[in-house]
Structure 1
Amino acid sequence: MSILSLFSKGAALPRPKPGQSPILFVSNSRYLLESTVSVTGFVTAILVNVLFPQVAEIETKVYQIGGLELTANLAYRIVLSGIVLLYAGLSVFSFFDPARKEKFLSRVPFRFASGLALALWDILGTKLQWLPMPFFPGPSRIIEAFLLEGGFIFQNTLYSLRLFTVGFASGVAFGVGTGILIGWFPKIYYWVFPVLKITGVIPAVAWMPFALTLFPTPFSAAAFLIVICAWFPVAFLTAQGIASTPRTLFEVARTLGAKTPYLVFHVAIPHATPQIFTGISTANGFAFTTLVMSEMMGQPGGLGYYINASKVWSAYYKVFAAILVMAILFSAIMKVIGAIQGRVLRWQKGVVR
């Protein structure tokens, strides 16, 4: 049952204008109503923050940001208002495209529940402080971390991005190259694949003592760990994709005069591309985990370093702020990988569900 039914049951929709299709009119009316429901949860969170009385005693600080005086609660309301405007804009943007409209409507219940969850969290964590403090601060307290030291968080985010980019890109390139060699050449498979299976199951962090000894800087040591954890899934799935290429494809290509380089780059690799992207997506999660753990153990910067430093001072609202940045970064990286995959594998549209 749609969330719309909770609000519109028993209520009559407006009548269509003369000459307008009744089916199209009802569809548009439902879309507008469900789009309103999509932001209602976040509007509720704003109202709760404004109207619910502050029972627990808290220290209110005023921060100067770009000439504006902001408190943590005011900054929180601004963030919520930005989310409301974002989803309202997406609603208008999706209105004229059936596919985007369907995708937008599919997330309405989640957005509505997210707003209500924020409202409840605000009551329990900020207004009443019934949650264990300082381990579970309210959402406005987490926003305050960005007001207090947003520049420092941004610097650590850039450090993490630089380290992740170097390690992940190198790991993917190394993994694809290794997988092609293993999947195509039987002799390389004989000698390298057992090593891949043995070393691949070892957590990358276990190599940290050796990495810190072998590499001259903590940055290069952490990049090596990310390369190791990204290399295994990409190489393994690439090798499987290359080795599972049907022989008939090679026979047809050879009949047309194709040589070995053509068979590798125009037959085997395109066939293995879906599995390569599966390996890249899997490696992304492993690499991000290794990134954070390596930054907690000897790096001079990064979000993991920021979490470790904040934990020492029991500033758990800063820990949650770093976790929020990590979640946004990871989602953005997955979005980029998905966009590249959709572009490269556009031939699958309509073929693969």
Structure 2
Amino acid sequence: MKRLISLKYVIVSILILIAIWQFAFTISDYSEALFPSPLMALQALVEMIADGTLIASIGASMYRFVIGYGLSVVIAVFLGLILGSLPRVFNYVNPTLQLLRPISPTAWMPFVVLLFGIGDLPAIVIIFIAAFFPVLLSTVSAVSKIDDIYFRVSDNFGIKQPALMWKVILPAAFPQIANAIHLALGSAWIFLVAGEMVGAQSGLGYQIIDARNNIRADILLATILVIGLIGLLLDFLIGLAEKRILKAWGGES
């Protein structure tokens, strides 16, 4: 599992990004209305915090993300553990998974909106799809690669299903599953924003579209920065959770 990013590196990296942004603004011939400076974006951020729109947008987006991503991970890991333990069944299921996996979640968006309309559900479905296949297939792969010695020892101690699944298979496969969960987090967060641009009337993705329609590039860039910072925070939190689980199961500390 990858190491958690040091706060020092995060701060320095963000400062470098802001410096490049300011330099580009200084030498650019674009109007400030189209390409605002970091200070203008910061002022827009303060404005959104003051009028409550930013908090409302973050709340709406996080609600959809937690439900969509959480359900996707739980269901994908559960099915992956079962299919990984039943390779003959997986051989029949795998072709269908490989057919659906390369389809971009945004390709499903028009169909999802037609089925469920505008609101929370389309974005939740898109998040679910974005995270589901990577976690499912990685879980199946992780289970299939477990050393046979785990099963021989379990058999000697009389450990049978379902205890075998939760006490042996899941802990042994978890490091690879954790990597997939980590990667799926970024994908799900990206497609949340994309889904909100089409199928929602609130949230950070909708706020970007609204700022574009009102020619408020300062709000648009401020919202993009907030999306990136939240993604970074989510990545850190899930990395911390994975590290503690691995430590509890005797993995890397």
Alignment-derived partner of residue 144 in structure 1: 43
> Aligned-pair distance for 1:191?
2.8
- The equivalent position to 1:202 in structure 2, one of 88, 91, 103, is 103
> Aligned-pair distance for 1:196?
1.6
> Aligned-pair distance for 1:146?
2.2
| Residues 1:132 and 2:30 are matched in the alignment | yes
What is the alpha-carbon distance in structure 1 between the residues aligned to residue 39 and residue 206 of structure 2?
A: 23
Distance 1:300 1:345, change over 3 A: same
- The equivalent position to 2:208 in structure 1, one of 292, 307, 329, is 307
- Structure with the greater relative contact order (CA < 8 A, sep ≥ 6): 1 or 2? 2
Distance 1:130 1:182, change over 3 A: same
User: For 2:198, what is the secondary structure of its paired residue?
Assistant: coil
What is the alpha-carbon distance in structure 1 between the residues aligned to residue 179 and residue 213 of structure 2?
A: 38
What is the alpha-carbon distance in structure 2 between the residues aligned to residue 292 and residue 205 of structure 1?
A: 11
Alignment-derived partner of residue 294 in structure 1: 195
Alignment-derived partner of residue 252 in structure 2: 349
| Residues 1:158 and 2:56 are matched in the alignment | no
Q: For each residue in 1:274-326, what CA deviation from the matched residue of structure 2 results, as whole angstroms up to 9, or x when unmatched?
A: 11111111111111111011111131101110101111222111111001110
| Residues 1:211 and 2:109 are matched in the alignment | no
Q: For each residue in 1:172-217, what CA deviation from the matched residue of structure 2 results, as whole angstroms up to 9, or x when unmatched?
A: 1111111112101134313322222211111111111221233355
The structure with the largest helix share of the pair is 2
* Number of residues of Structure 1 aligned to a counterpart in Structure 2: 243
TM-align CA RMSD:
2.3
Within 5 Å, give how 1:217-228 maps onto structure 2.
Answer: 218-228=119-129
Alignment-derived partner of residue 282 in structure 1: 183
Q: Percent identical across equivalent pairs?
A: 28
Segments of structure 2 that go 5 or more residues without pairing to the other structure are 1-5
Alignment-derived partner of residue 140 in structure 2: 239
User: For 2:96, what is the secondary structure of its paired residue?
Assistant: helix
C-alpha contact 2:112 2:122 (8 A) present in aligned 1: yes
Q: Which has the larger radius of gyration?
A: 1
TM-score (norm 1): 0.64
> Aligned-pair distance for 1:251?
1.0
The amino acid across from 1:334 in the alignment is: D
What is the alpha-carbon distance in structure 2 between the residues aligned to residue 104 and residue 287 of structure 1?
A: 24
Segments of structure 1 that go 5 or more residues without pairing to the other structure are 1-102
